[in-house]
Chain A
Amino acid sequence: GDSVTQMEGPVTLSEEAFLTINCTYTATGYPSLFWYVQYPGEGLQLLLKATKADDKGSNKGFEATYRKETTSFHLEKGSVQVSDSAVYFCALTLVAGGTSYGKLTFGQGTILTVHP
């Protein structure tokens, strides 16, 4: 079946450090890929997405590129802030055929803590 694997956390960084959170996937069709973020005490919010190979999603200084050849969608940010401390989830959905109803398959989540 479809699955998403994220790098294990937790990840602890100092402010202004470079961030990479790895995400790889397996899927039978042509997935759309997502990064969701969950701030403390809140639900998930969409951070960015990419719907086809070589697309780059970006938002709030975060970027991720849909790499079909390596089945990856790694999240990067050049300079993290304390306010980026959160749990980050990689996810996919298969829209082909219109029968998936947008069901998401999530990775296990990566906890990021940024210290001043």
Chain B
Amino acid sequence: DVKVTQSSRYLVKRTGEKVFLECVQDMDHENMFWYRQDPGLGLRLIYFSYDVKMKEKGDIPEGYSVSREKKERFSLILESASTNQTSMYLCASSLSGAFQETQYFGPGTRLLVL
């Protein structure tokens, strides 16, 4: 069964803290994605990775960075958390090639920055 897991369901952090959100997939997928979900805005792509150590900016990368040292793990880093980064963060993965369009999502991490 396909599985994408995220390290935390809920996180509370202080402004200025460095925050790490971890995502692991067990499907041997090449592509991995980080989105944030806000009411009325849908999901917006922050960063994605199509291979180990490769990354591309999405639509809203400012204030974020990512790391992909192993194929199954994709980390989102908030270098200095701010209150406007309070949101739901969703990780997803997909295959490359002809089947790359179906993304599989983790349960999400709800982050509150105080």
Most buried by B among A32, A49, A89, A108: A108
Contact A89 B42 (CB under 8 A): yes
For B44-85 the 0/1 string (1 means CB < 8 A from A) is: 110010100000101000000000000000000000000000
Is the CB of A34 closer than 8 A to any CB of chain B?
Answer: yes
Contact A102 B42 (CB under 8 A): no
B contact residues vs A (CB 8 Å cutoff): 4, 31, 33, 35, 40-45, 48, 50, 56, 58, 90, 92, 94, 96-97, 100-108
Contacting residue for A101 out of B40, B56, B90, B106, CB 8 A:
B56
Question: Could you tell me the distance between the alpha carbons of A114 and B39 in the complex, rounded to whole angstroms?
Answer: 20
Contact B42 A43 (CB under 8 A): no
A7 to chain B, nearest CB (A): 13
Given contacts A34-B101, A43-B107, A49-B101, contact A102 B45 (CB under 8 A): no
Contact B102 A106 (CB under 8 A): no
The size of the chain A interface, using a CB distance under 8 A, is 25
Complex A-B: 23 CB contacts under 8 Å = A34-B101, A41-B107, A42-B108, A43-B106, A45-B105, A46-B102, A49-B101, A89-B42, A89-B43, A101-B31, A101-B50, A102-B96, A102-B100, A102-B101, A102-B103, A103-B48, A103-B58, A104-B43, A104-B101, A104-B103, A107-B42, A108-B40, A109-B42
Most buried by B among A36, A42, A103: A103
Given contacts A43-B4, A44-B90, A101-B96, contact A106 B103 (CB under 8 A): no
Given contacts A102-B94, A106-B42, contact A44 B31 (CB under 8 A): no
Question: Could you tell me the distance between the alpha carbons of A93 and B48 in the complex, rounded to whole angstroms?
Answer: 14
Contact B45 A42 (CB under 8 A): no
Contact A101 B42 (CB under 8 A): no
Question: Could you tell me the distance between the alpha carbons of A49 and B100 in the complex, rounded to whole angstroms?
Answer: 13
B residues in contact with A101, CB < 8 Å:
31, 48, 50, 56, 96, 100
B residues in contact with A53, CB < 8 Å:
none
Nearest B-chain residue to A111, judged by Cβ? B39
Most buried by A among B48, B94, B96, B101: B101
